[in-house]
């Protein structure tokens, strides 16, 4: 039995910091983005500058978000084994069988609790997909931005996408992915609470403190 009764330092500061700043960014992006796409408040005086502020906040948040995504990916190579980017690629035979077993647990088809300290195969794969959506939002966002901001940096960050897709589709997909990320957030929080209640390992608290409580049943990663 590994680590029975032990507190295990799982999520290091860069993982927790980027997690919560990214969660905050998604919240701010969704409010300002929804307003940009569908302005639901009307200015009654030119001094109110509502759309200007919404766009400004959206763009400032974009740089914070971009930095967090870069830091988290960097930490995937520099951090502890639980932060390792390798956890997001569960494609070995053993990991694929773990993935199906965990999937059955989350679909309420099995009662076999997936005891793990770090990410299990399904959460690792989910975060890989979530980060691909993040990267798409960055590229499509900067593609929209590059239309009236010319320079190599905007081109590298997303401007190149305008050569591959029409602007109206970039805008549509940029908008639609917001709903994908909001839906993910709902399912994510629900299953984090569900896992915590079944594994009883302090999962919810761990994303604040960094520590998980080992039940002794996990295989360490």
Instruction: Give the one residue of 84, 105, 117, 137 binding ligand HEM; rule: CB under 6 A.
Output: 137
Q: How many residues bind ligand HEM (CB under 6 A)?
A: 40
Number of residue whose CB is nearest ligand HEM? 141
Instruction: Give the one residue of 141, 159, 161, 213 binding ligand HEM; rule: CB under 6 A.
Output: 141
Tokens matching residue 192: 């984090």
User: Does 72 participate in binding ligand HEM (rule CB under 6 A)?
Assistant: yes
Q: Closest separation between CB of residue 192 and ligand HEM, Å? A: 4
Whether 95 and 116 have beta carbons less than 8 Å apart is answered as no
Q: Which long-range contacts (CB under 8 A, 24 or more apart) does 190-193 make?
A: 191/106
Binders of ligand HEM among residues 83 to 122 (CB under 6 A) are 119
Inter-CA distances, 214 with 4, 189, 202, Å = 6, 21, 9
Residue with tokens 């029409």: 166
Residue with tokens 């307003």: 35
- Rounded Cα distance between 152 and 159, Å, is 9
The single-letter DSSP state of residue 218 is S
Q: Closest separation between CB of residue 14 and ligand HEM, Å? A: 9
Residue from 106, 140, 109, 141 nearest 125 by CA: 106
Binders of ligand HEM among residues 162 to 221 (CB under 6 A) are 171, 174-175, 178, 181, 184-185, 188-189, 192, 203-204, 207
Give residues in contact with ligand HEM (CB under 6 A): 15, 19, 22-23, 26, 29-30, 33-34, 36-37, 55, 58, 62, 65-66, 72, 119, 123, 127, 130, 137-138, 141-142, 144-145, 171, 174-175, 178, 181, 184-185, 188-189, 192, 203-204, 207
């Amino acid at each position: 039995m590994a680590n029975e009764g032990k507190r295990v330092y799982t999520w290091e500061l860069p993982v927790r910091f980027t997690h919560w700043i990214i969660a905050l960014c998604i919240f701010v992006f969704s409010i300002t983005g929804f307003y940009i796409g569908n302005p639901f408040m009307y200015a009654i005086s030119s001094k109110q500058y509502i759309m200007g502020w919404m766009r400004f906040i959206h763009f400032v948040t974009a740089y914070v978000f971009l930095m967090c995504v870069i830091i988290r990916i960097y930490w995937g190579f520099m951090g502890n084994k639980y932060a390792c980017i390798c956890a997001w690629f569960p494609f070995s035979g053993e990991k694929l069988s773990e993935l199906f077993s965990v999937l059955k647990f989350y679909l309420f088809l099995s009662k076999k609790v997936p005891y793990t300290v770090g990410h299990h195969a399904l959460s690792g794969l989910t975060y890989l997909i979530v980060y691909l959506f993040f990267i798409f939002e960055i590229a499509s966002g900067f593609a929209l931005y590059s239309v009236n901001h010319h320079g190599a940096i905007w081109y590298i960050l997303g401007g190149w996408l305008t050569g591959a897709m029409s602007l109206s589709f970039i805008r549509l997909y940029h908008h639609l992915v917001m709903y994908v990320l909001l839906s993910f957030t709902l399912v994510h929080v629900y299953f984090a609470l569900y896992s915590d209640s079944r594994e009883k390992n302090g999962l919810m608290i761990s994303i604040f403190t960094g520590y998980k409580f080992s039940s002794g049943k996990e295989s360490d990663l």
